[in-house]
Amino acid sequence: MFGYLIKRLIQMLLVLWVVSVIVFLMMSFTGDPVFMVVPIDATDAEIAQARRLLGLDQSLLVQYWKFLTSLLQGDFGRSYVFRQPAMTLILERMPATVEMVLVAMALAVVVAIPLGVYAGANPNSRLSRIIMASSLLGISLPGFWVGMVLIYLFAVHWGVFPSSGRGDTAEIFGLRVSLLTRDGWHHIALPAITLSLGTMAILLRMTRAGMMEVSRQDYMKFARAKGATRRDVLYKHGLKNALIPVVTIFGLQLGDLIAFATITETIFSWPGMGKLLIDSIYRADRPVIVVYLMLVALIFVVINFLVDIVYTLIDPRITLK
Amino acid sequence: MTTFLNSEFFHNYTRSSSAIIGSTLMALFAFAVIAGPFLVAQNPYDIASLDLMDSYKPPVWLDGGDPRFWLGTDGQGRDVWASILYGARISVFIGLVAMIASCVIGTLLGLIAGFYGGIVDSVIMRIADVQLSFPSILIALFLMSAVGTGVDKVLIALTAVGWVVYARTVRGSTLSEIEKEYVQAARVAGLPNHKIIRKHVLPNVLTPLIVIATIQVGTFVLIEASLSFLGVGVPITQPSLGLLIKNGFDVLFSGLWWTSVFPGVAIMMLVFGINLFGDFLRDELNPRLK
Amino acid sequence: MMKDAANTALLTVRNLRTYFHTFSGTVRAVDGVSFEIGQGEVMGLVGESGGGKSVVGFSILGLIDSPGKIEGGEILLEGRDLVTAGEDHLRHVRGREISMVFQDPMTSLNPLHTVGRQMDEVLRLHSDLRADARHKACVDMLESVGISRAAERLKAYPHQFSGGMRQRVVIAIAMLANPKLIIADEPTTALDVTIQSQILKLMRAQIADKGASMILITHDLAVVSEMADHITVLYCGNVVERGATRDLIETPAHPYTRGLIDSIPDTSERLDRLSQIPGSVPDIRNLPQGCNFRDRCPRAQALCAQKEPPLTPQHNGLMAACHFPLHPGERL
């Protein structure tokens, strides 16, 4: 167990290092950030001065070394636009994103798993066909377009939900959370539904596929030969086995939600880190982009690690090596 | 041909409503993409053919609708239907070309990794692993933010995220193929590697790629639409369906919904058709499920 | 006919037909099978793989899934028809009146549940015992199938057991509710040869102990000749011969049975005559007219291609479906 943890830790650091190299290289090829910090009428001397201050006059290798050492020292640079530490900016907005992602994930799980189990258990029923067709529609829809249609219908046309913003928040353990206020729920409903649809469809299809695969197993027939009801066989014997593949993609789906949150937040003007990323891309605010990517990489790596742990808890055959 | 019509594949096709609907939608889009410019009078790119007097006409069945523009017009008097036909060409073009590029590059890398193994294999597969642990949309978004907008750049970004799935699949099948006796025999007989790959390995690893490639076109259309919606995809001069939605979004709050809703319906029908047919192919080509 | 079975029969199967409707045609996996089993009897159901033996077992328990379907016939358990019985009644029968042992112990246990939980499930379904009484019953049962430290082993998962041990667990589960009939579908085929005889001995002891009956489904005549009171031989979904074990093994009337016996090594003194039945089971989707076995039969004549032989009484009380049956002592 201990050896496994060490091994995983080294793997995680390696992935983060690779990401840091890629992020750094890509950023070096992007436009010249010096023009983001100097005034429009700056002289050549001022530009050269700014370039030196930003360290842009040195070789790539030196720049990378500086980039890496400052990352490791917790110095993530300042936003060119906000003139604040980039990390602070991101961390301020992170709770809003995490909140929306979690609500969307919860929604996806609650809807997808029962429907997926039903569709897998009754593959030929009419309702299953409808469920499967809808789920296919779910992965065929552009998420941003769904958000837009929801805004048009519920905000513009009927005026029952707000079209943007986060609404009232309450503070708990120093975090601003909208799930504690009625207004907060009112605001998060549309963006969370929009965000959840794709993941919902994928989880549903995975659950169904898992159920169908499991239905063919001998132990399901053996359980029925014991006299268990069809329902018990499905839920007590089938579901847990069927969910193993679902758990393996759970981490990836959480990652997808974080990624797609950038788009959802942009549509609904949700003040999260995804919207900050898109704004920063428009403004070429390099330090913010870098911090976002490194932080998200860290989150993904940790999620994947946790998924592996959960995996071993569900399946007694798997041991951590 | 008659053997095809008598085959189980064709029989199942005629009995699968999803396969028929899916392929019909795909055929409709193929037709629209090829014949699009001949179906509409207006060229939405030609400023001379636009008339500001026609701007923001609603669809024909609403009050104020104009029979010349059955899906309405946008702020420049551009026919939404014409924009969709032209936009679909760009979306489909990007999806297809990026799929072909991903497939070729991914298959090559997968063959190399599987056939030669060793350090080449490790490097290719580690890159694939790292990349797969990140969502495609985020990688594409990041690449586009670094290289700027343009159809060519979207193609590069999509190919950069798309090759991995082929490489992994092909590497897996290659590894199991080269274990088989006939390949071993060919190796012992001194057949050169490229011939072994071309004659023995490649034909046997291609079937699963058909399904992946079909579905990937739909995925790429969606990713491209998302990038364009965020303003980091195609340029304004070459509006894909995604960019049409973005342009329409700006006026949505004034109640002018048709300029953004209809392009979205078009994307949905296209991708839905591809996914329906892809699902059918997956069930048919995967013997394990039978 | 067999001995006054009508009075003592536990299970009577009459003209059972189970078909599978697939794209490439209807598979008549079981096509008019009849047999009877009395209280405490062991019946061997023998045939080559693909002969429809397992389908008979699953049909009795009502576990035929689409595209399969029981098309006709009767399955009478103590006089009550299971074919027409509802799912509720069948559930009561499964595990309690009739239980089943599957071929592959590696796949018949749920990998995610402990052995104890899988055993307990039977008692929860079929008894009113309280948790502690159920636990004790499970421990006792596990010990009686030869698993030591049973209380501890109940907490283990299937993957922590060997194949032979798992089959013991499966047998324990099958015996737990004191069923009247066990259907054992190739219970030793997936096991090592050394384990096979242990498991067979165990099953015989368990059945004798509880006074239960058993249908032993196997392709292995050697196994069945040690275990069974009488034997039913299936070929292409039809009964081709049946009778008391000793008579059937020593003086079979049907050439197919003779062929099966001759292909067992070591069963008779004539090792030099060890042979195989030529050819293989025909495509069951489009069986020809007449006797299904005629293409592989050295005694086949013109009549065999025209008329399907009915099951008729032969010497020593055997029943065989053959136009030209073997007489005692006659060889192929």
Q: What is the pLDDT of residue C3?
A: 44
Contacts for B152 with CB less than 8 Å, ≥ 6 apart:
none
Tell whether the model's pLDDT for residue A80 goes beyond 70.
yes
Q: In the predicted model, what is the mean pLDDT of chain B? A: 87
Domain boundaries defined on chain A? 16-72, 92-314
Average pLDDT score over residue span C244-266: 87
**Percentage of residues in chain B having pLDDT higher than 90:** 40
Does a structural domain hold residue B111?
yes
Q: What is the pLDDT of residue A31?
A: 62
Total of domains in chain B: 1
- The CATH number of the domain covering residues in A92-314: 1.10.3720.10
pLDDT 10s digits, B3-22: 776 677 788 888 888 889 99
Contacts for B277 with CB less than 8 Å, ≥ 6 apart:
B18, B19, B22, B23, B26, B214
Q: How far is C140 from chain A (nearest CA, A)?
A: 19
Residue C291 three-state SS: coil
Q: Give residue B281's domain range.
A: 17-289
Does a structural domain hold residue B154?
yes
* Range with top average pLDDT, B134-143, C45-54, C260-269: B134-143
Does a structural domain hold residue B8?
no
Return residues 218-247 of A near C (CB < 8 Å).
Answer: 218-219, 221-230, 236-237, 240-241
Inter-chain residue contact A219 with C96, CB threshold 8 Å? no
Tell whether the model's pLDDT for residue C82 goes beyond 90.
yes
Q: What is the pLDDT of residue C275?
A: 63
Contact with chain A for residue C173, Cβ under 8 A: yes
Which one has a higher pLDDT value, B165 or A73?
A: B165
pLDDT 10s digits, B187-214: 888 888 888 888 878 887 888 899 899 9
Nearest-by-CA chain B residue for C22: B290
pLDDT 10s digits, A9-53: 898 888 888 888 888 887 777 666 677 667 777 788 888 888 787
Q: What is the pLDDT of residue C5?
A: 43
Average pLDDT score over residue span C18-24: 84
Q: What is the pLDDT of residue A102?
A: 95
Q: What is the pLDDT of residue A126?
A: 92
Which one has a higher pLDDT value, A134 or B178?
A: A134
* CATH code for the domain of B215: 1.10.3720.10
Query: pTM of the predicted model, to two decimals?
Result: 0.84
**CB C184 within 8 Å of CB C215:** yes
Q: What is the pLDDT of residue C1?
A: 39
Q: In the predicted model, what is the mean pLDDT of chain C? A: 87
Report the topology of domain C7-228: Rossmann fold (3.40.50)
Please tell me which chains touch A, using 3 or more CB pairs under 8 Å as the contact test. Answer: B, C
Q: Between vectors from CA A195 to CA A190 and to CA A197, what angle results, nearest 5°? A: 100
Does a structural domain hold residue B12?
no
Nearest CB partner across the interface for B267, out of A142, A149, A300: A142
Please tell me which chains touch C, using 3 or more CB pairs under 8 Å as the contact test. Answer: A, B
Contact with chain A for residue C91, Cβ under 8 A: yes
Nearest CB partner across the interface for B230, out of A148, A152, A278: A278
Nearest-by-CA chain C residue for A317: C159
pLDDT 10s digits, B157-182: 999 999 999 999 999 888 888 888 88
Average pLDDT score over residue span B31-46: 83
Rounded CA separation C239/C230 (Å): 13
Q: Which residues of A touch C112 (CB under 8 A)?
A: 240-241, 314-316
**CB C51 within 8 Å of CB C234:** yes
Return residues 112-151 of A near C (CB < 8 Å).
Answer: 124
Residue A151 burial by Cβ neighbours in a 10 Å radius (0-12, 13-18, 19+)? buried
- Looking at chain C, the domain(s) classified CATH 3.40.50.300 span 7-228
Tell whether the model's pLDDT for residue C30 goes beyond 70.
yes
Tell whether the model's pLDDT for residue C267 goes beyond 60.
no
Q: What is the pLDDT of residue C57?
A: 92
> For C309, left (φ over 0), alpha (ψ -120 to 50), or beta?
beta
